[in-house]
Amino acid sequence: MPKKTLLKQYRLCKHCLERHISTGKSSRPCYICRGLMDNLGAIANNILAAVKGFEFDTFLIGATLSTQLYEREDTMRARLKIRGRANIKHYLTRELGIRLARLVGKKVEYGKPDITITLTVDKENNVDLAVISRPIAFAGVYIKKSRGLPQRQDKCANCGGKGCNSCNYSGLSGFNSVEGIIAKELVRITRGQTPKFTWIGSEDQSSLVLGSGRPFYVRVFNPKNRKLKNKTIKGNGAKAMLKMINDIPVIQPRFIVKTKIHIRCENALTKKTLKKLNTLSGSKVSFENKSKRGIKRIHSVRVRQLDSNQFILTIVADGGLMIKQLVGGEEYMKPNISEILGAKCECIMFDILNVQFQ
C-alpha cells in the first residue's frame, strides 16, 4: 500500500501509520486511535506507579480496547485491503511492555508472569489500570497442643470469603483457629489476600495434633511480596512450619494416620471382649453416606483398658477414615467397634499422633 494512497484517504498518527506501511509521519488527529498512541509515555509512567509496591521478576501487559477503535481499524483495512499487519491491541501492549521492561529492568513473560497488568481503554481513550499478582503456594505442617482450637474458620460474613477491609483481606470471620492463625500471618508477610487451604485430613476441635504434624497446602492470592523464606507461625497452642513450593498438587497425596481414640462403652468390658478388636488389624472398612462411599484399610490396632467401660484404641489407618463413625457404627460403616463388641460405644475424644504420606 503506497503511503500517498493511505494518507490521501485517512489521517493517521505516526504509530498507526507505521503499523500499516512500516514508515510514516504524524498526521493528527489519527483516524484509528484518536490520540491514544501519543499517550504511550504517560501510560507507561502510570503503569510504573501502579506496580511499585509489587515484588516481581516477570510481567505481562494485556488490554481491553473499545469496540469503536477496532471498528475504525477494520473499516480502513477492509477498504484498502490491508492484511497481515499487527492490530492496535498487539502494538499497544508490545510497545508498553518494551517501555516498562526498560524502566524496571524486568522481563516480559507470556507463560506464568509474576504480575499481569491489564489496561481497559474506553471510547474516550480513558485508561484504567489493574495489577494482579500470580498466586504463591506453600506446603506446611501444623502441630496443635491445645484442645478447643478448631482446624477451620468460617468465612467472613461481610464478603463471603472474597476478602475485605473488615476481615483484613483474609476472607475469614476471625483468627481463632489453625486456619485463622496461619492466614492472618500469611496476609501480613505476603501483603496478599484470601489464603485458600487444602487440608490433608481433619480432626475435632478437642483433638491434639502431635508427632511431625498434619500436612496441608495453602495458596495466597495477589501477593505483593513473593520472595519469601521458610516461615514458622505460632499462636494459641498451634505451631505451623511452611515453605514455598511451585504449585499445589492437583491430586491429593495418599496418607496414613496414627490416631489415639478414647472410647466409652455402655456395657462393662472384659479383656477377652476387647481382644475382639484385634480383628480390625489388616481389615478393610467400608462406608457409605449421602456424599460418598469408599474403603479404608486399618493397618494396626492396639488396645489399652482404662476401667470397666472405657478403653484407649490406637490405630494406624488410611487417611480419611471417619473416627466417630468407626466407633459408633454410623454412616453404614462396617466393620465398626460397636458391632464387634456387641454394645453401643461412643468416642469421647481422639488425638492425631502422626500423619505420614504414603
Q: What is the pLDDT of residues 325-346, one digit of tens each?
A: 999 987 688 999 999 999 999 9
C-alpha distance across the termini of the chain, in Å:
67
Give per-residue pLDDT as tens, 91-117.
999 999 999 999 999 999 999 999 999
pLDDT(219) > 90 = yes
In this structure, are 85 and 166 located in the same domain?
no
Any domain includes 335: yes
Mean pLDDT of the region 159-174? 94
In a domain, 217, yes or no: yes
Q: 35 is written with which cell numbers?
A: 490520540
Are 69 and 142 part of one and the same domain? no
Per-residue pLDDT, 305:
96
**In this model, does residue 27 exceed pLDDT 60?**
no
pLDDT of residue 15: 76
Clarify whether residues 146 and 238 are in a common domain.
yes
- Amino acid occupying residue 296: K
pLDDT of residue 83: 83
CATH of the domain at 345: 3.30.70.3190
Q: Are residues 238 and 287 in the same domain?
A: no
Domain boundary among the residues 104, 133, 162 is at 133
* Model pLDDT, residue 80: 85
Helices (H), 254-336: 271-274, 323-328
Residues 168-179: what's their mean pLDDT?
Answer: 95
pLDDT band for position 19 (50/70/90)? Answer: confident
Residue 21's pLDDT band (boundaries 50, 70, 90)?
low
Q: Are residues 189 and 281 in the same domain?
A: no
Highest mean pLDDT among 6-10, 15-19, 234-238 belongs to: 234-238
What value does the mean pLDDT take over residues 257-273? 96
Does residue 259 share a domain with residue 328? yes
Asked if residue 29 is part of any domain, the answer here is no
**Residue 323, all three cell numbers:** 473416627
Do the domain assignments include residue 292? yes
Q: In the numeric block, which cell numbers belong to residue 86?
A: 499487527
CA distance 129 to 325: 53
The DSSP output letter for 112 is S
Quick check: 43 pLDDT over 60? yes
Cis peptide before 29 (omega within 30 of 0): yes
Provide mean pLDDT across the span 61-67.
96
* Residue 19, domain member (yes or no): no
Across the range 200-223, mean pLDDT stands at: 96
What's residue 14's pLDDT?
74
Question: What letters, b where the CB count within 10 A reaches 16 and e where it falls short, cover 298-318?
Answer: beebebeeeeeeebebbbbbb
Task: List the CATH number of the domain containing 101.
Answer: 3.30.2130.30
* Residue with more model confidence, 209 or 287: 209
User: Which CATH number fits the domain that encloses residue 212?
Assistant: 3.30.70.2510
Amino acid found at 6: L
Same domain, 123 and 220: no
Look at 5 and 133; give whichever has higher pLDDT. 133
Helix (H) or strand (E) holding 325: helix 323-328
Active site residue 318: no
Measured between alpha carbons, how far is 185 from 353 in angstroms, rounded to an integer?
A: 26
Is residue 150 located within the same domain as residue 61?
no
What is d(CA 27, CA 98) in angstroms, rounded to the nearest whole number?
Answer: 24
Same domain? 283 vs 270: yes
Residue 250 lies inside a defined structural domain of this protein: no
pLDDT 10s digits, 295-304: 999 999 999 9
Residues 201 and 262 in one domain: no
Name residue 352's amino acid: I
For 113-156, write each residue's pLDDT tens digit.
999 999 999 999 999 999 999 999 999 999 999 999 999 999 99
Q: Is 172 inside a domain boundary?
A: yes
121/36 Cα distance (integer angstroms):
9
Question: Alpha carbon of 20 to those of 50, 80, 328: distances in Å?
Answer: 32, 11, 77
SS3 assignment, position 123: coil
Residue of 162, 161, 220 lying closest to 190 (CA atoms): 220
Could you tell me which residue, 271 or 29, shows the higher pLDDT?
Answer: 271
Whether 211 and 122 share a structural domain: no
The catalytic residue among 114, 154, 204, 307 is: 204
Task: Give the span between the Cα atoms of 156 and 171, in whole angstroms.
Answer: 5
- Using CA atoms, how far apart are residues 228 and 249, in angstroms rounded to an integer? 20
Residue 144 belongs to some domain of the structure: yes
Within 13 Å of residue 147, how many CA atoms lie on the same side as its CB?
5
Domain interval for residue 333: 255-357
Q: In whole numbers, what is the pLDDT of the chain averaged over residues?
A: 92
Contact 287, 294 (CB under 8 A): yes
Whether residue 195 contacts residue 220, with contact meaning beta carbons closer than 8 Å, is answered with yes
Last residue of a domain, one of 110, 133, 156: 133
Quote the number of domains for the chain. Answer: 3
Residues 227, 261 within the same domain = no
pLDDT value at position 25?
Answer: 56
Q: Which of 86, 107, 133 is the last residue of a domain?
A: 133
